[in-house]
A and B are shown apart, each in its own frame.
Chain A
Amino acid sequence: MSLSPGDLEAIWLTLKLAVLVTSLLLIISTPIAWWLARTQSWLKAPINAIVAMPLVLPPTVLGFYLLLFLGPDGALGSALNSLGLSPLPFSFSGLVVASMIYSLPFVVQPIQNAFSAMGQRPLEVAATLRASPWDRFIHVALPLAKPGYLSAAVLGFAHTVGEFGVILMIGGNIEGETRVLSVQIYDHVEALEYGQAHLLSLLMVAFAFCVLALLYSLQKRTKSTPHFGPY
């Protein structure tokens, strides 16, 4: 038994989605994590809670609300509509937006932990050497937070690959556009094509093992920052 063209397309689409979502998340998570790691504001607790919410909400809740929120009657949906942009549900861009919300805590939290763990000291030292704030961030904070970024990238990528419920709710199962690997497996199971389902599922199991093994070996090598987000 070998992979069908549909299977290959689903794998390609999943990888494309995961790479795009992870890259975008690493960019937008940096200021959020930086702020959360250093602020004394009373807003810290509520913002932390909002970021972590996708961890505890069932994907069906997220998917259902996204469907309503992005729909023509929804707040964002009608705004996009009046700007003449195409609606997000049932499109690849819709999946990107949904996946970014869904995987946000997996990327923010490891980076936030890395920023917290380094403390004020290295930055203060850099400041006494007349490094500008931007300099301090680029040349001191970022290199120190590298292990946090690595685990954020690995977790964000893996979590997006493993996404199912949200995509099922807002994707519309369109080949080459929204039919990702997990949905393809679901289809095979529902259609009683258990052989194809096995093949793809085994690939996923192997993938999950490799990713987690990589994560834990990274963790071992960088003992200085022991915090690894939600795990």
Chain B
Amino acid sequence: MLHALIKKNGTVFTSLLKIITLGGFIAFTGIAFAEPLRLAVASNFTSPIQKLAPIFEQETGHKIQLSFGSSGKFFAQIQHGAPFDVFLSADQAKPDKLIEKGLALESSQIIYAKGALALWSASLKSVDPVDKTLLEARKIAIANPKLAPYGKAAKETLTKLALWSKLKGKLVQGENIGQTYQFTYSKNADVGFVALSQVLAGDVKGHYWKVPNSYHSAIKQSAVVLSSSHQKEVANAFLAFLMRADIQQKIASFGYQTTPQ
């Protein structure tokens, strides 16, 4: 039956076949020549990278493909062959570990941003004075100190304020800083320790207190080129782009610290 159909519509089929072959050829060569640079980006850097990537694309003509997620998940995926070229982690430990395992290039490693922590509230009229706000809050959101660098910094801040043991009972933990923001945004937590970059990018301004850098160890966000990348040159060019003075200035305006501490 198929045979008869082909015979009957022979010409239609041949031209269809031609179109399909041609289309396939175009698609194939297209991919071969303009394979996008694939970035695995820690969720706290979502909004900045969405603004920075188009600038790089425009300057160089290289396409960028963004994936967002937690650094821990990307670490596990990269270990098992996930096809990324560059990993922008929320910390320094995971890129270090990838280098140790030979999965990332040591020479490529940069600190592209230093995180700034903020105590933020969407519901309260003010977060000042800080100790009083924290002591009176019913729920305080922080990122999981075991998993997220911003969570670790929040814990260090509370320890520095000598409030950690007092407040422990009302802490709720987000799996990452994105979820911590959500808990505070929805007002389920009265206050939350979130990334300053989130507060500045968000549509609800609320009130915030920028935690002084001296209250916690630096949140160094490190990026590396992965050993499995087929386009290490473009990847390195992208990391160099991130370190350029004008781009670093932009990163600072998104709520990060860029000056060396």
Interface residues of A (CB under 8 A from B): 64, 67-68, 70-73, 87, 89-90, 168-169, 172-174, 186-187, 189-192
Task: Knowing A187-B147, A190-B73, A192-B75 are in contact, say whether A173-B186 is a contact too (CB < 8 A).
Answer: no
Q: Does B139 contact A (CB under 8 A)?
A: yes
Contacts between the two chains (Cβ within 8 Å), count? 63
Alpha-carbon distance between A186 and B176 when the two chains are bound, in angstroms: 12
Would you call B183 an interface residue if the criterion is a C-beta within 8 Å of the partner chain's C-beta atoms? yes
Q: 16 other contacts beyond A72-B187, A192-B97, with CB at 8 A cut-off? A: A64-B182, A67-B182, A67-B183, A70-B188, A87-B188, A89-B183, A169-B179, A172-B141, A172-B172, A172-B174, A173-B172, A173-B173, A174-B171, A187-B147, A190-B73, A191-B72
User: B186-213 interface mask toward A, CB cutoff 8 Å, 1 = contact, 0 = none?
Assistant: 1111000000000000000000000000
Which chain B residues border A68 with CB–CB below 8 Å? 186
CB distance from B98 to the nearest CB of A (A): 11
Interface string of B70-94 (1 = CB under 8 A from A): 1011011000000000000000000
Distance in angstroms between the alpha carbons of A145 and B138 in the assembled complex: 47
Of chain B, the residue at the smallest CB distance from A94 is B188
Which residues from chain A contact B123 at a C-beta distance below 8 Å?
Answer: 72
Q: How far is the CB of B129 from chain A (nearest CB, A)?
A: 23
28 example contacts (A-B, Cβ-Cβ < 8 A) are as follows A67-B183, A70-B188, A71-B188, A72-B123, A87-B138, A87-B139, A87-B188, A89-B183, A89-B188, A168-B179, A169-B179, A172-B141, A172-B173, A172-B174, A172-B183, A173-B144, A173-B173, A173-B174, A174-B171, A174-B173, A186-B175, A189-B73, A190-B70, A190-B144, A190-B147, A191-B146, A191-B147, A192-B97
Q: Note all chain A residues with C-beta closer than 8 A to B174.
A: 172-173
Contact A72:B175 (CB < 8 A) given known A67-B182, A172-B183: no
> Is the Cβ of A189 less than 8 Å from the Cβ of B76?
yes
What are the 9 A-B residue pairs with the smallest beta carbon separation, nearest first? Answer: A172-B172, A190-B72, A173-B173, A90-B172, A89-B188, A71-B186, A71-B188, A190-B147, A72-B187
> Which residues of chain A have C-beta atoms less than 8 A from B173's C-beta?
172-174
A26, B133: Cα distance in complex, Å? 44
Picked from A67, A187, A190, A192, the residue with its CB within 8 Å of the CB of B188 is: A67
Which residues of chain A are within 8 angstroms of B76 by Cβ–Cβ distance? 189, 192
Instruction: Report B-chain residues with C-beta under 8 Å of the C-beta of A67.
Output: 182-183, 186, 188
CB of B198, distance to nearest CB on chain A (Å): 17
Q: Are B182 and A173 in contact (CB under 8 A)?
A: no
| CB of B142 to closest CB in A, whole Å | 10
Q: Is the CB of A187 within 8 A of B183?
A: no
CA gap between A87 and B182 in the complex, in Å: 16
Which chain A residues border B70 with CB–CB below 8 Å?
190
Residue of B nearest to A70 (CB): B188
Most buried by B among A71, A87, A168, A172: A172
Q: Is the CB–CB distance between B72 and A72 below 8 Å?
A: no
Q: Is A90's CB under 8 angstroms from B144's CB?
A: no
**Cβ–Cβ < 8 Å partners of A186 in chain B:** 175
Q: Are A72 and B188 in contact, with the CB atoms below 8 A?
A: yes
Q: A129 CA to B204 CA in the complex, in Å? A: 68
From A89, A187, A189, B144 is in contact (CB under 8 Å) with A187
Distance between Cα atoms of A212 and B139 in the complex (Å):
40
A174 to B97, CA, bound (A): 29
Residues of B close to A191: CB separation below 8 A: 72, 146-147
> A residues within 8 A CB of B72?
189-192
A64 surroundings in chain B (CB, below 8 A): 182
